[in-house]
Structure 1
């Protein structure tokens, strides 16, 4: 756009410069003709004007040639006019309205002519005679010259602009190709088709691509170290807890059993919390439908003594951009909580494709529900609304921690079916 505007402005400037130059050249030609006519003019002793039959400029001797000359006396009295003006009504104007050595379009409101005029006092034997010499030229030749120039100028500049724009577009396409390749490889990484940027890039962006690969490698290595460390910690803690449970048998104090259960609860909660990966811009999208089906099948076996019908809305294209373990933990806790409290039915709806800005999970049940004033309380670790219901009270707090790690929101609402409605919204 800038190039097109620049070339158009250049064309306008060149056209105006050429027009000024053409006008100046016309001015010089007309005054040259005017001086030639003055040189050919004679005034006899009686004050009469004498002009040669043929003038040096052929166009002045050709009727209707477009170049005309005239000599006038004061008050517009025509003393002589060139043969080229025969049969024509040339515009007249009082000599008092003209300025000496003036070059202009003349007269206004009529057919315009280029005019050169000169007022002099002619000294002769008969005395001083005031004369006005005028040379006029029709503008047709000038306009034709300008038209030819405009066509040539705009034609060549237009062709040059087109070629320059093509060259510029080609340079941009070629120059930005590595960036488009990077974008394509990043999309491949996001979709799980490759693990890093693999192409050989120009030195201008090689530092960028190397840093991206280093970041990816560091992130994966750090996640692996965390998982290994957590696995080692879990193994090292479970063994002492199992030993404590086995000590004392039936004679062990209930207080010890309670403290062991509390320790196990704390260990499980902290391990799950620490293993949450959190949001990653380059995470491989996870297909939600197969994972949800596996969880539902598992929970139906766990709660086989409880008849619960599940109504689900799972789009086949629904994908979650994050860690698969986090999604399984999040969805598993929500469904497990609903299964515990549901009467006969659970509703599950998951929305959000790979290119959507939000990923939403909605789980409803027809159980007793959660009062609005208790909604925030149940998100705290270890809090259960009903102590008779099995569990450690870490399900919803775990959900809250995962959602917080992904910079999302969790809302506990009242379901239209009578129970609780939990809505989780995560940015993709």
Structure 2
């Protein structure tokens, strides 16, 4: 059955909301993407507006050119009894060449064609409605031959004869040249606007990199504080960030002051209780051996010692929020000191210790906690081993894993979870209070880690300690 702490950690994991992609993006990426989207929209709208303005400008210029052609035709036309006549040689040479792209015709008041230019032979131009004198209409027309034209119609009242006559002068031009000019402008516009957009994005990235430099410096200083390389944030920052750094420094100072008060309180409590308990135990040891109260007092003193140690461990576990501010602790050096001490305690057993720890492996937390956990596990291995103990481990970016193997009798799987409870012992005849593994479990749980008991390849027990980083 899983322990309560494991179930609580699993429930907390299930309650943790998942981060979407937008929450995972960095601030610089968000700004660059947002600016790119806004800039793209601006470029598109600008290109549409410029293209529209260019189309209107070119169309207006074409309209004026066609109006000039109508004036030239009016100047060349003469009214005779049969109607208007025009010379074969016109001022605009394209009107005399078939298929030249410029065409002209004259309509009477009923809209019937009276004359068309030689260039219009074989073409089916769009025929506008007749216009009143003085009216002008410019439009894009679709001819019966499937071609598109720019058509200008102009109403004229011809009063050179005895009776004024109304005519409509029509000049049409193939719109392919007009569309080609617009296409060329569109391509040129896309090139220039694309280049400007790229330059603006590069400038934005550079400006953003320069603007976010204080934030990167704050992040680097926070990492240095977390690793214990410096006590607080020391750089000089802009006013917008200075409030954040000031609050962080105040939080760090408050946390260190609280940790110092906690350590002082624990030390005072330990020293305050140590002497009275020692005096009481000495007085009991000097008493009568047959005193019936003696055994009861010794039992109660032992329980008091256990309770004091348990409460001290709980207080230390509650103060581990400052562990991330402690400098990294080399695990191999701590293990070597503990093994040297245990060799003296268990010198009669002549235990062979295989230490398989890289010097680069570090513990991110309070050094006393590491010594407490590792010391209890090694002491347990020395106590129960035959002749051999092995300590191995590995450190990754996410976790620290330590494994202690021995060649002792091992731990039955049915007792593995029970032995992690406070006061539980596998052998009541062996000296000890049964709180070592429980203390390890409490400290490890406070760091968000876990302790597991398994069978060792050496034949005894294997205790695995895993601490997240």
TM-score by length of 1: 0.83
- 1:251 aligned to 288, 306, 312, which one? 288
1:181 aligns with 2:209: no
- 34-43 or 326-335, larger mean C-alpha shift: 34-43
Q: Deviation string for 1:191-222 (max 9, x for gaps)?
A: 32211001122111212111111111111121
Contact 2:106 2:169 in 1 (8 A): yes
Identify the structure with bigger relative contact order (alpha carbons < 8 Å, sequence gap 6+). 1
2:231 matched residue in structure 1: 195
1:91 matched residue in structure 2: 123
Q: Deviation string for 1:234-260 (max 9, x for gaps)?
A: 112111122122225262433333333
1:270 aligns with 2:320: no
Q: Deviation string for 1:127-160 (max 9, x for gaps)?
A: 9999774423344653564356346534543454
1:224 aligns with 2:256: no
Tell me, in whole angstroms, the C-alpha distance in 2 between the residues paired with 1:237 and 1:286.
30
Seen in structure 2, the aligned counterparts of structure 1 residues 241 and 80 have a Cα distance that, compared at 3 Å, is closer
1:303 matched residue in structure 2: 346
2:414 matched residue in structure 1: 373
- 2:60 aligned to 25, 34, 37, which one? 25
Tell me, in whole angstroms, the C-alpha distance in 2 between the residues paired with 1:111 and 1:326.
89
1:330 matched residue in structure 2: 373
2:442 matched residue in structure 1: 401
- 2:385 aligned to 335, 342, 346, which one? 342
Seen in structure 2, the aligned counterparts of structure 1 residues 105 and 425 have a Cα distance that, compared at 3 Å, is farther
Q: Which runs of 5+ in 2 are unaligned?
A: 1-35, 131-136
Contact 2:356 2:393 in 1 (8 A): yes
Tell me, in whole angstroms, the C-alpha distance in 2 between the residues paired with 1:278 and 1:219.
10
- 1:282 aligned to 325, 347, 353, which one? 325
Secondary structure (helix, strand or coil) at the match of 1:251 reads coil
Seen in structure 2, the aligned counterparts of structure 1 residues 122 and 343 have a Cα distance that, compared at 3 Å, is farther
Secondary structure (helix, strand or coil) at the match of 1:347 reads strand
Instruction: Give the RMSD, CA atoms, in angstroms.
Output: 3.7
Secondary structure (helix, strand or coil) at the match of 1:275 reads helix
Contact 1:72 1:80 in 2 (8 A): no
Tell me, in whole angstroms, the C-alpha distance in 2 between the residues paired with 1:345 and 1:249.
41
Tell me, in whole angstroms, the C-alpha distance in 2 between the residues paired with 1:358 and 1:54.
97
2:7 matched residue in structure 1: none
- 359-368 or 326-335, larger mean C-alpha shift: 359-368
User: Shift of residue 281 of structure 1?
Assistant: 3.8
